[in-house]
Copies of this chain bind each other. A is one copy, B any other.
């Protein structure tokens, strides 16, 4: 029964990934670390944003936030968020706009299917750095709203009174780990030039 369940979970995860994410759960080979970084950002749909906390006296604080870098198959590489002013993260960025957002393939079925512990370097993870800023330009608002609402349909009905708005990370660099030998720092231009 256990083995049957594991096989089914892997099969179903691959199938579901084909309809909710990209066409396949198969990430790029580890040598293509920049493509891998783009892949992780496109495959996942929530992250932990780390901020310098205002209410908690300047400690580094982790906030769980949904995001999308684009509709399925149309990755921009930019994590877009739908945030309310009630959110800790928005209170924090008033003084310290620089944040990181962290994603890992542990969030998908991949590491589980490969028997990789979440801390195993082959279980690829990415930390995106930059300022968290409000999206204001009309064209980007249109793209980012579709990016978010297509992958988080519930957002459409979130309460108007909470004044949700779209934010993004203005990426300066990305730290990626997907194999033994330590993490790489990827400049923003290199990151955006890659295909996920």
* Copies of this chain per assembly: 2
Contact call A64/B15, Cβ cutoff below 8 A: no
Contacting B at CB under 8 A, from A1-31, are: 1-2, 5-6, 8-9, 11-13, 15-16, 19
Measured in the bound complex, the distance between the Cα atoms of B100 and A64 in whole Å is 12
Residue of B nearest to A182 (CB): B86
Measured in the bound complex, the distance between the Cα atoms of B101 and A116 in whole Å is 21
Measured in the bound complex, the distance between the Cα atoms of B6 and A115 in whole Å is 22
A192 at the interface (CB under 8 A from B): no
Residue from A50, A98, A99, A118 having most chain B Cβ neighbours under 10 A = A50
Which residues of the other chain, B, contact A115 by a CB distance below 8 angstroms?
154
Which residues of the other chain, B, contact A8 by a CB distance below 8 angstroms?
5, 8-9, 12
A147 at the interface (CB under 8 A from B): no
A144 at the interface (CB under 8 A from B): no
A139 CB to closest chain B CB (Å) equals: 25
Top 4 A-B pairs ranked by shortest CB distance? A62-B102, A46-B118, A5-B12, A48-B48
Which residues of the other chain, B, contact A154 by a CB distance below 8 angstroms?
115-117, 120
A182 CB to closest chain B CB (Å) equals: 7
